[in-house]
Amino acid sequence: MQLKELSRQSGVSAASIKYYLREGLLPAGETVHATRAQYSARHVERLELIQALRRIVGLTIEQIGGLLRMADDGVPRLALLAAVQRVVLNLDSRATAGGGPGTPAADAVVRLRSWPDSPSDARNALNAHLELMESLNIPVSGELLDTYSKAMNDVAGLDIAATTAPESVDRLILTAAVGMHMHSQLLLKLLALAQASHAIRRYERDA
Amino acid sequence: MQLKELSRQSGVSAASIKYYLREGLLPAGETVHATRAQYSARHVERLELIQALRRIVGLTIEQIGGLLRMADDGVPRLALLAAVQRVVLNLDSRATAGGGPGTPAADAVVRLRSWPDSPSDARNALNAHLELMESLNIPVSGELLDTYSKAMNDVAGLDIAATTAPESVDRLILTAAVGMHMHSQLLLKLLALAQASHAIRRYERDA
DNA sequence: GCCTTAGGATAGAGCTACTATCCAATGCGT
DNA sequence: ACGCATTGGATAGTAGCTCTATCCTAAGGC
């Protein structure tokens, strides 16, 4: 199929497809002649992936490009999942310069939950975030971290258990990114409702 | 003090202050004469609040304006807190048209946790989100919701208990917004670490 | 042989949050 | 009294992002 047909099937405008080609999100079609290119079902799939990452997950073109380039370079799946996590869960605060000493609180959490103690984006992000909270004078008690981390441990156990390894790398990215986003948002919605409920009870009691 | 001094004390450029005045984020100073205005310590505080909401919490000018106008209109604190929650925790997906029938799953959660059963932004957002997940074919089991909501109930209990009512409304917004944002981000960082830990264990076992 | 399409380049549009410039009016220091 | 600095108001420009549109030449298909 050629550009116009690809546009029709994917629902993405021809101009946008050209833009994605320029930005390296979509591999070039097979050039038959200087002015004719063939696109395949893979291109349709790739476009659907791009749309989902843009519209549902809300990633930027640059972030999507990074993930897709990793996928095309054959990066191992675990590393790819870590990259997905980084962009979906915002682990790349500029403050996240890896390799710092680590906060005592984060170390305590990792020990308490007996999580594998290896440096990672998630670990660095946690350290950076705890330091940020400290610098803002927001207290983080051991009890709070304990409760939070226990809750997240329970949740993550279910999340990972529900994960089945998909066929293609593109689909791995799709399900991982969309799933992570939806689950984290679900968590925040439940948090909001729980907070509101507690707040109502408290205000009623005070009144 | 006049504009230049206000700019110096707050660290915000004079041009930006003018912009905030135009957008109604900052109340006009007391006009002494046609070309002279007096600003007070309240203006400095307000600017610090605006900066925190922009740079730390990442709200848009429009969202900040909405909150500040509510505060200036003397809206009750509980309603103000709900508004803060809405913008900080992203409860305003366009799909959140309140008053729908409600999903059975959400009803079940509310009953299970014995949360006050009143329609609210949080409740609507949860309903909309569950419907969205369903439309995307992402299964949400009762067990998952149970685990998630129990975790969030525990967490919210601590969050609310830690809240002390601040003096001024401006400070209420500041501590609520920054606190909510930092706590929700902390939760996501812990979720990331927990997921990564579970994933590593799983991949190791599979390998 | 003409119409359509590909690819490449470039420019514009719409959004957000500023930033800069220009202006007339006017107070303050000297 | 005079001029510099400052104010509010208006307007325009900038920068980053994601497209969208236009223009062009080359070339294949009917």
**Would you state the structure tokens that stand for residue A18, as one six-digit string?**
């050209």
User: Residue A29: what residue type?
Assistant: G
Nearest to B183 by CA among A57, A110, A181, A139: A139
Residue A38 dihedral angles phi and psi, to the nearest 5°:
-105, 130
Angle at CA A40, nearest 5°, toward A35 and A45?
A: 125
- Model pLDDT, residue B35: 80
The number of beta carbons lying within 10 Å of the beta carbon of residue A144 is: 18
List the single residue in A with minimal CA-CA distance to B146.
A155
Write out the CATH class of domain B1-75+163-207: mainly alpha
Nearest CB to A155 within list B129, B191, B201: B191
What was the pLDDT predicted at A120? Answer: 86
Q: Which residues have a Cβ under 8 Å from the Cβ of A18 and sit 6 or more positions away?
A: A3
Judged by C1' against the alpha carbon of A17, the nearest nucleotide is: D19
Q: How far is A27 from chain B (nearest CA, A)?
A: 26
- From the list B81, B155, B196, which residue is nearest A199 (CB)? B81
Residue range(s) in chain B whose domain bears CATH number 1.10.1660.10: 1-75+163-207
| Whether B36 CB is under 7 Å from strand C | yes
Q: How confident is the model at residue A30 (pLDDT cuts 50, 70, 90)?
A: confident
C17 C1' – B64 CA distance, angstroms? 13
Chain A nearest CA to B41, separation (Å) = 21
Q: Are B13 and B7 in contact (CB under 8 A)?
A: yes
pLDDT in tens, A31-69: 888 788 899 999 999 999 999 999 999 999 999 999 999
With CB atoms and an 8 Å threshold, state whether A192 touches B159. Answer: no
Q: Which residue is nearest to nucleotide C18 (CA to C1')?
A: B16
Q: Give the pLDDT of residue B131.
A: 92
Query: Does strand D come within 7 Å of the CB of B28?
Result: yes
**Model pLDDT for residues B26-53, shown as the tens digit of each residue:** 999 888 887 888 999 999 999 999 999 9
